[in-house]
Amino acid sequence: MSEGLSFSLTEEQQAFRAAVRELVEDKISPRASDIDSEDEYPWDIDDLLVKNGLSGVSYPEQYGGAGGGAVELCILVEEISRWQAGVSLIPAVNKLGAVAVLLGGTEEQKSEVCSGIATGRHRMSYCLTEPDSGSDAASMRSRATADGDDWIINGSKRWITNAGASDLYTFFAVTDLEARKGQNITAFLVSSDMEGFSLGRKEKKLGIRGSPTREVILENCRVPGSNVLGQVNHGWDIAMRTLDFSRPTIAAQALGIAQGAFDYAVGYCSERKQFGKPIASFQGMQFMFADMAMKLETARLAVYRSAIAVDEDDPDVSYWAAIAKCHASDAAMAITTDCVQALGGYGYISDYPVERLMRDAKITQIYEGTNQIQRVVIARKIFGKLE
């Protein structure tokens, strides 16, 4: 994109989208409502993704993945999110946890994680946020103390997506109490079978149900020195770069949620009649859908522009990722709310999917950095760091 603007996917990417859409509509859409109501991790769908080679999308082939990049991952997440946003977090969160390994891991770690996720042997989560440090994540209280060649980690992380379903965790902890904040954090690869690892309660959430959110607790957890990702005290850079790479994926999730609600509402309003004619024929309704379409298509441009920035290793990837995540999630919240309105009373009941999609949309404005934080990132690019 740096050499010339392109607004279309390649033929291969279009074929990939079509294949994913067919699978989602055939196998995932019939389960969408039940997954939401039962709020249990859908292992059958996880297995479906593995068997169809989708769990390895965006992982380098040299490490046992299926290849592709951020664009392909965004396509996958967008298409799943049109029906079930909680399920879309299976590939999205695996990659979130794995990015730190790809950024700082050894060749052996990269091979184990990538091939393991692709074959369903491993699943990953990302542990950064703590009970007292959300947006100010560098103020974390988790501590890692050297003990010979090992590290002893104590601390807890909150709001960890797919905790319990995952067996591997990228865990960040302070390793130097005397160093400056942000220059004293190390990334570790932690396994759920390590002594001292435990989980807190499963949170009851508004949306993205079917994707467990739990606290991850380490109490005197001994982690081998070989499980350090990157260099000691350089984990903060890995944490922030990981978010740059993952925010386009959350933007794609928001886009998919919005597209799913929009598609359903268009069909409904084309058939629903009032005063003797389809409600889609009323100008007030048409203007509402025109506004939604503008938000939707500009969000799509932002999502795939940011994904290309990741794939091209664009130095401005933080800027593009923040724009995509912020704009797409704000658009998703607005669009799903309008779709509920378009269906009237039917939009407010769980028999119709727009209610679920509206609930799912809200979290996209919050996680992977709130949209207020995204605006800070964007403003810093515009003005630089002002004292």
Active site residue 130: no
Q: In the chain, where does DSSP find H-type helix?
A: 11-23, 32-38, 43-51, 70-81, 85-104, 107-119, 235-271, 283-311, 317-342, 353-363, 371-383
- The span from the CA of 237 to the CA of 229, in Å, is 11
Separation of alpha carbons 63 and 113, rounded Å: 8
Residue 345, helix vs strand vs coil: helix
* Dihedral sign of CA atoms 24, 25, 30, 34 in order: positive
Matching residue, tokens 């919050």: 366
Distance between CA 112 and CA 161 in Å, rounded? 21
How far from 5 is each of 8, 9, 297, CA to CA, in Å? 9, 12, 16
User: Residues 117, 46: contact at Cβ < 8 Å?
Assistant: no
Q: Which residue has the tokens 């560098």?
A: 138
164 phi and psi angles, rounded to 5 deg: 100, -45
Can you name the residues that pair with 151 across neighbouring β-strands? Answer: 146, 223
Name the 3-class secondary structure at 272.
coil
Question: CA 11, 12, 18, 21 torsion: positive or negative?
Answer: negative
Helix (H) or strand (E) holding 219: strand 213-224
Catalytic residue among 3, 195, 368, 387: 368
Q: Which residue type does 332 have?
A: A
Q: What is the 3-state secondary structure (H, E, C) of 100-128?
A: HHHHHCCHHHHHHHHHHHHHCCCCEEEEC
- CA 104 from centroid of its chain's CA atoms: 20
Residues identified as active-site: 368
